[in-house]
Structure 1
């Protein structure tokens, strides 16, 4: 088990995981023209399982599946599947940078959902940050660069944006569920149950969307699972090395990777609305993070 509070190790792992997740998204976008996004979801989960099993074998920890909170894992897998489905669908119709920017709405919805689910009181500072973040979403949605999605009809792009924001809602619910599960479950157990259950869920839907991939497409789908699995492990190790609040800012580097990859590979130069909106959303997320760290410090002093 890595030592906690190793900030350098945690930061490097977070940067690596963020880069790999962006690469995975680019591969998904590339293969989605011929393979249904639900089929991609299945391969993403199924091909990441060997990575999870290898970790269990390395640590000789075959009790990772042992849990007393199976219903919690099931609900967490349902919300995770919905979040992933929204994310993968949005990748099929939106430029990579736009989709990435809209996924940053998750902290905004975590703040909102913490009120009914956790009974938290949200002050004027965090409310202001939430409003700023939603302002960023509106800039992306309504700006002049919003409806230039590689020849896609405006209606399809609008639906893609709505789905990308919905992904933020489901991801926020997943985050809150993981917080609850983490009180009694290890990160490895949560990730392993996630992979198993999400594979099972997408397997049920697979016969309705199946198209036989070509050899190249199959190789890319294999890569999606392996890259996603390694990135998930790196993310888990990062959170085991340093505090989540300290690592938050490093996750925003994905916008840099998505802009670069989208520009070089897909010739999607982001419009001003995407860039300005991303800055507003990131700023709101960082301010929410700052307020959470300040509140945690005040609680420790009490």
Structure 2
């Protein structure tokens, strides 16, 4: 690996760490916005509206608006529909649960991606990855403790639903990413989502003080910047290198939960989260090994 490759990997890791921190900060701001009286519809509208403006500004001083042209509008509409549903469930989870618990449930996404890859894409999935999937679900059971009243059942349902939809989106993005740049993908997701969000926003719009408006604008800035950094990281580094950085979000969620809301993760979360994280890391590692083996066999002279 040359020095240029090392620089790309370092930048990819740095961008992914940045996106994890920004997403955690956005989640904390969502809880603050809710405490200040903002509704879910308002939060989502401003998240996407500000993100769209941010992408347009970056594109305007960079590759130019012509780079946003697409021949795959249908794929972007499908991605927007699924992504908006996932975002709705994710934001609802943040509003229902503690930051650390909401973040931990989000880590189940690789588990669902493995299941979907096996049954929809017919990807080879050996017993080791199935064992990792099982371990991950054990971790989810430990964190949520079904039937105990430990965590609101609705929050568990929205959290796992968001993770499932995110897994579906990740599979869809594999195909979109073959022809579309990261900024183009983020732009169309943000811009298209403003159509339904803009239609319902007037029914939920409220007056806010300066602090409330500032919080809503900050949610959009952090969310948009996090999404751009996350997408860009995948263009500079392999999935197996950058995705493990996402788990640092739990550290930020724990810190922000303690500082802003005086809440620490429960003992069950401390026990179950490592299982979920270990499951996700192993799944990513096995996927990397599988693709590396496929590439080696493809390059071996027959």
Same fold (TM over 0.5): yes
Does 2:178 align with 1:183? Answer: yes
Match of 1:26 among 20, 25, 28: 28
In the aligned structure 2, how far is the partner of 1:15 from the partner of 1:145?
Answer: 35
Aligned ranges 1:91-102 → 2 under 5 Å? 91-102=94-105
- Given that 2:32 and 2:215 are in contact with CA atoms closer than 8 Å, whether structure 1 keeps it comes out as no
Given the alignment, which residue of 238, 260, 265 partners 2:260?
265
Deviation at 1:214, TM superposition (A): 2.4
* Structure 2: gaps (5+ residues): 298-302
The total of aligned residue pairs comes to 292
State the TM-score, normalizing by the size of structure 2.
Answer: 0.92
Return the alpha-carbon distance in structure 1 between the equivalents of residues 137 and 201 of structure 2.
35
Summarize the Cα distance change of 1:237–1:146 in structure 2 as closer, same or farther, 3 Å threshold.
farther
For 1:127 and 1:35, the matched residues in 2 are separated by: 41
The Cα shift of 1:208 comes to 3.1
Kindly indicate whether the alpha-carbon contact (under 8 Å) linking 1:140 and 1:146 is maintained by their aligned counterparts in 2: no
Match of residue 158, structure 2, among 163, 169, 173: 163
* Preserved CA contact (<8 Å) 1:110 1:173: yes
Please give the alpha-carbon distance, in whole angstroms, between the structure 1 residues aligned to 2:120 and 2:254: 35
- The alpha-carbon deviation at position 144 of structure 1 amounts to 11
Alignment partner of 1:203 out of 194, 198, 206: 198
Distance 2:190 2:205 in 1: 20
2:50 pairs with 29, 47, 50, which one?
47
Stretch of structure 1 that moved more, 84-93 or 209-218: 209-218
CA spacing shift, 1:97–1:146, aligned 2, 3 Å: farther
Distance in 2 (alpha carbons) for counterparts of 1:12 and 1:144:
40
Give the alignment partner of residue 294 of structure 2, picking from 294, 299, 302.
Answer: 299
Q: Following TM superposition, where does structure 1 have runs of at least 4 consecutive aligned residues deviating by more than 6 angstroms?
A: 143-146
Find the partner of 2:209 among 204, 207, 214.
Answer: 214
State the distance in 1 between where 2:121 and 2:58 align: 33
Deviation for aligned residue 1:246 = 0.8
SS at match of 2:263: coil
Deviations 1:113-148 (A, max 9, x none): 11233221221011111111111111011189972x
Give yes or no for contact 1:146–1:271 (8 Å, CA) kept in 2: no
Residue 228 of structure 1 aligns with which residue?
223
Aligned partners of 2:222 and 2:254: how far apart in 1? 19
Does residue 122 of structure 1 match 2:117?
no
Q: RMSD over aligned Cα, in angstroms?
A: 1.7
Give me the whole-angstrom Cα distance separating, in 1, the residues matched to 2:230 and 2:155.
Answer: 27
Structure 2: distance between partners of 1:278 and 1:202 = 33
Q: What CA distance in whole angstroms lies between the structure 2 residues aligned with 1:198 and 1:258?
A: 27
Corresponding residue to 2:59 among 34, 56, 61: 56
- SS where residue 47 of structure 1 aligns? helix
For residues 83-119 of structure 1, the C-alpha deviation after alignment (integer angstroms, 9 at most, x for no partner) is 1100111111100000000000111111111123322
Partners of 2:48 and 2:23 in 1: CA distance: 14
